[in-house]
């Protein structure tokens, strides 16, 4: 459904093009929640009139937002705020011989409300000691554990997850974050490294202590660019598989 917008005269910044200033103004309206994810933006002509700019300038501004991945154009329907990512599967880094293509199941091993350690606080853009939610989650294929995930979430955004039965949580967290907390993950950056499993980590994965593992560290960001999740995923290094196509 199209949502009308209010008149917002354009304020330009010296040294910044008019369409870039306009893109910043539109971005601010998206981030503020005026146009939630999945919402259709008002017609280009209406937006141009409200911001008192030429239609061509409005189109160039929207092209910038499309390039950023903030909005998308749907042929014959209009321009929409992107819904956000569902969460690229960590399994793309691994190949487990399960004999099936099933979707991995999830089990929350522990949920703790605690003060953020310095390293976690730095990643989430918090002050050391600010309240966070720490989740330990096991992903399973064919009823066998394959991945162990340590997930850190800022409590001011994820307070609704503190209570309730974690057995009722979705296997995919990002759609649940959006539905229950209003947090939409817009982009994520994954970094791959290698290490060995501690005794506790190995127990969850039914492997031996000291077993080599792949570590995927993810920083996930919302529409405004805030880091809303810091995650470390560990899996058997012998199952590591990653393909890159170069053209």
179 and 135 share one domain = yes
Tokens at residue 9, please? Answer: 């005269």
220 within a domain of the structure (yes/no): yes
11 within a domain of the structure (yes/no): no
- What's the pLDDT tens digit per position in 152-177? 999 999 999 999 999 999 988 998 99
pLDDT at 36: 83
98 and 147 share one domain = yes
Of 4-13, 16-25, 68-77, 223-232, where does mean pLDDT reach its minimum?
4-13
**pLDDT over 90 at 117, yes or no:** yes
Q: What is the mean pLDDT of the chain?
A: 88
**CATH number for position 43:** 1.10.10.10
Q: How many domains does the chain have?
A: 2
**pLDDT over 70 at 7, yes or no:** no
**pLDDT over 80 at 90, yes or no:** no
116 and 213 share one domain = yes
- What's the pLDDT tens digit per position in 100-112? 566 789 999 999 9
N-terminal to C-terminal alpha carbon distance within the chain: 40
217 within a domain of the structure (yes/no): yes
What is the Cα–Cα distance from 109 to 107, expressed in whole angstroms?
A: 6
**pLDDT over 70 at 197, yes or no:** yes
**pLDDT over 60 at 83, yes or no:** yes
**pLDDT over 90 at 99, yes or no:** no
**pLDDT over 60 at 5, yes or no:** no
Give residue 51's pLDDT band: very low, low, confident or very high (50, 70, 90).
confident
From residue 113, give the alpha-carbon distance in Å to each of 82, 136, 166.
Answer: 31, 12, 14
**pLDDT over 90 at 134, yes or no:** yes
Between 117 and 50, residue with greater pLDDT:
117
162 and 192 share one domain = yes
pLDDT at 119: 95
pLDDT at 2: 45
Domain interval for residue 162: 90-239
Domain boundary at 59, 81, 103, which? 81
123 and 184 share one domain = yes
96 and 160 share one domain = yes
What is the Cα–Cα distance from 123 to 209, expressed in whole angstroms?
A: 28
55 and 110 share one domain = no
94 and 215 share one domain = yes
What is the Cα–Cα distance from 220 to 186, expressed in whole angstroms?
A: 8
- Element of type H or E holding 204: helix 199-205
247 within a domain of the structure (yes/no): no
Between 10 and 139, residue with greater pLDDT:
139
Between 15 and 221, residue with greater pLDDT:
221
174 and 61 share one domain = no
104 and 53 share one domain = no
Domain boundary at 37, 58, 81, which? 81
pTM here is 0.79
What's the rounded mean pLDDT across residues 16-38? 85
pLDDT at 3: 45
Answer positive or negative: Cα dihedral of 149, 157, 170, 225. negative
Say if CB 41 and CB 82 are below 8 A apart.
Answer: no
């Amino acid at each position: 459904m199209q949502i009308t917008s209010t008149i917002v005269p354009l304020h330009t910044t010296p040294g910044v093009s008019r369409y870039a200033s306009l893109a910043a103004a539109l971005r601010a309206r998206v981030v503020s929640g005026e146009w939630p994810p999945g919402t259709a933006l008002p017609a280009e002509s209406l937006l141009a009139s409200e911001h008192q700019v030429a239609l061509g300038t409005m189109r160039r501004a929207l092209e910038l937002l499309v390039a950023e991945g903030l909005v998308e154009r749907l042929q014959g329907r209009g321009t929409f705020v992107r819904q956000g990512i569902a969460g690229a599967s960590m399994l793309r880094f691994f190949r487990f011989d399960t004999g099936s293509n099933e979707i991995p199941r999830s089990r929350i091993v522990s949920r703790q409300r605690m003060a953020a350690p310095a390293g976690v606080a730095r990643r989430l853009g918090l002050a050391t000691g600010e309240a966070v939610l720490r989740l330990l989650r096991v992903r399973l294929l064919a009823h066998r554990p394959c991945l162990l995930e340590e997930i850190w979430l800022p409590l001011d955004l994820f307070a609704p997850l503190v209570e309730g039965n974690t057995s009722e949580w979705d296997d995919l967290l990002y759609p649940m974050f959006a539905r229950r907390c209003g947090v939409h993950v817009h982009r994520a950056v994954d970094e791959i490294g290698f290490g060995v499993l501690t005794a506790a980590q190995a127990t969850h994965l039914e492997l031996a202590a000291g077993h080599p593992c792949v570590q995927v560290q993810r920083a996930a960001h919302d529409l405004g660019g805030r880091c809303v999740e810091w995650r470390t995923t560990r899996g058997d290094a012998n199952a590591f598989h990653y393909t890159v196509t170069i053209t």
